[in-house]
Amino acid sequence: MALFVQKYGGTSVGSIERIQQVADRIIHTIQQGHRVVVVVSAMAGETNRLTELALQITDTPSAREHDVLVTAGEQVSIALLSIALISRGYSAVSMLADQAGIKAAGHFGNARIESINTQVIEEHLQHNRIVIVAGFQGRDIEQNLISLGRGGTDTTAVAVAAAIEADECQIFTDVDGVYTTDPRLVKCAQKLSEVTFEEMFELASCGAKVLHRRSVELAGKYHVPLRVLSSFSPTNSDIQQSGTLITSSVTRHTELDQRVSKQKVAMENKKITGITASENEAMIVFDLPAVPQTEVFDLLSVLTEQDIELDMLSHEASFTHESTVAAIRFVIKTKDLPTALSLLQQYTEKNKLFSGQVMQVSDSVAKISVVGVGMRSHAGVITAVLKRLARQQIPVLLASATEIKVSVIIDKRYMELAVNALHEEFALNAEQSIKL
């Protein structure tokens, strides 16, 4: 009889009817003999509704007060879910951040959980109460309400699971698991029954929207088994056979394997777990004649100091008899592009370092990443990626590789073609798996 943390997002509690279904699902888990702590988001649309009210007053609402405003959304949903459980005869108790002992620190709107004092949660569990915790919020050292930013409710769920040493943290969402790639791009994308934290972290970083990467990082750090599953499946389905389990060690198999068990040995050699594609990328290329390397990195630090993340940074230099000619390439999120361009311009104007520099910006690129822990023991993944893309006549603008990930930047218009080709190349298609 396990201790589970279950997280329900905004869509899962988006209406009274959906809240009733969540209550049914929790009760089903309780009836199986488990104990449950639930972490809940605001009802779908509520956070936007509240933010809209603030924006009617000013374009730049006070960050502290904006957090007070939006966290009211979770207060409503924990109360409604508790009311639903209690009305069915179950003992439930809602807890706000301070009641659940959730201490956070950092910037308003983007805090990190510092600690959770689990004493009160554990007392409630000992009294067989279902504990319903408000996601997305904490209290700072001065008792200010402070929100955790995007994906904050997932983070709360993982942090609570780590703190109470739950057997599993179950993230109920509007998809039924993690797929080999985006099923909207590749028709025969397959659901994975297990992935590792490392793979999931790369998948989340590269645009798979199922989980926020902060929550994956936290789960990996504290070894909290994390399960992603659908809140739209029948409320009495067997949780531990559903969705995708994200864990430290994986017996590699897909849903299909469970049906075709004789294929299992072949599958266990699978190099690649999944492929992600992201369109929200912009590539910046600097051609820099005769500039010392330290000053190049000075320039880049102008961006990183403003929390603009540089991805796939590459730096090439060639030496002629007269000077060093260098090229710098990197990728940033398109949302950061206007700020980045204005910062770079200010810097170069002020420092007059780069006369003769040429800066090119491509904002119509896509980033394709091929992820898998199996890569470690299989050399040549990057070669296979580049070869296959060449065969499809897709020019690669930039490529990089880490231990478990190969990423390429290509023109956006080739994105779907590239993902489908690579999905086939690495035998992720359902039909192919059987044929292997």
Q: Judged by CB, which is closer to a copy of itself: 70, or 312? A: 70
Q: Residue 366 has which token pair? A: 């896509």
CA 75 – CA 91 distance, rounded (Å) = 18
6, 29, 71, 369: which one binds a copy of itself (CB under 8 A): 71
213 assigned to a ligand binding site: no
* Alpha carbons 113 and 172: distance in angstroms, whole number: 21
Between 134 and 404, whose beta carbon lies closer to a copy of itself? 134
**311 labelled binding-site residue:** no
Assigned token pair, 334? 């398109």
Total residues binding a copy of itself (CB under 8 A)? 39
- Exposure on the CB side of residue 434, measured as CA atoms within 13 A: 9
DSSP 322-361: S-EEEEEEEEEEGGGHHHHHHHHHHHHHHH---TT-EEEE
Considering only CA atoms, which of 430, 424, 381, 425 is closest in space to residue 401?
Answer: 381
Exposure on the CB side of residue 393, measured as CA atoms within 13 A: 0
Query: Residue 333 annotated as binding?
Result: no
Residue closest to 2 by CA, chosen among 227, 177, 175, 221: 227
> Between residues 133 and 210, which has the closer beta carbon with respect to a copy of itself?
133
| Unique residue bearing structure tokens 């930047």 | 409
Give the shortest CB-128-to-a copy of itself separation in angstroms. 16
Residues in region 75-94 near a copy of itself by CB under 8 A: 75-76, 78-80, 82-84, 86-87, 92-94
Token pair 């936290």 in the structure block, residue: 218
Closest approach of a copy of itself to the CB of residue 54, in Å:
5
Residue 185, SS3 per DSSP: coil
CB of 273 to a copy of itself, least distance (A): 41
- Tally of CB atoms within 10 A around 269: 12
- Identify whether the C-beta of residue 255 lies closer than 8 Å to the C-beta of residue 433: no
90 is in an annotated binding site: no
Residues shown for the chain: 436
Nearest to 72 by CA among 86, 58, 93, 51: 51
Interacting stretch for a copy of itself, rule CB under 8 A, among 15-23, 209-217, 320-328, 336-344? 15-23
| Residue 334 annotated as part of some ligand binding site | no
Piece of 64-72, 217-225, 256-264, 340-348 that binds a copy of itself (CB under 8 A): 64-72
Is residue 209 annotated as involved in ligand binding?
A: yes
Minimum CB–partner distance for residue 100 and a copy of itself (Å): 10
Q: C-beta of 231: minimal distance to a copy of itself in Å?
A: 18
> Which of the ranges 61-69, 245-253, 355-363, 408-416 carries the binding residues for a copy of itself, by CB under 8 A?
61-69
Long-range CB pairs of 114-122, under 8 A, 24+ apart, other chains included: 114/138, 116/159, 116/160, 116/163, 118/160, 118/163, 118/164, 120/95, 121/37, 121/95, 121/160, 121/164, 122/164
d(CA 190, CA 138): 37
**Cβ proximity to a copy of itself, 76 vs 125, nearer residue:** 76
Q: Show the site string, 19-58: x = touches a copy of itself by CB under 8 A, - = not.
A: xx-----------------------------x--xx-xxx
The answer to whether 184 is a known ligand-binding residue is yes
User: At 28, is the secondary structure helix, strand, or coil?
Assistant: helix
Shortest distance in whole angstroms from residue 57 CB to a copy of itself:
5
Is residue 152 part of an annotated ligand binding site?
no
Interface with a copy of itself, residue 69, by CB under 8 A: yes
Among 5, 27, 30, 145, binds a copy of itself (CB under 8 A): 145
- Residue in 3, 96, 361, 399 binding a copy of itself, rule: CB under 8 A: 96
- Cα–Cα distance, 164 to 146 (Å, whole number): 22
CA 149 to chain centre: 13
Residue stretches of the annotated binding site: 7-10, 47, 74, 173-174, 179, 184, 209-210
Binding-site positions for ATP read 7-10, 173-174, 179, 184, 209-210
State the residues that interact with a copy of itself by CB under 8 A: 16, 19-20, 50, 53-54, 56-58, 60-62, 64-66, 68-69, 71-73, 75-76, 78-80, 82-84, 86-87, 92-94, 96, 98-99, 143-145
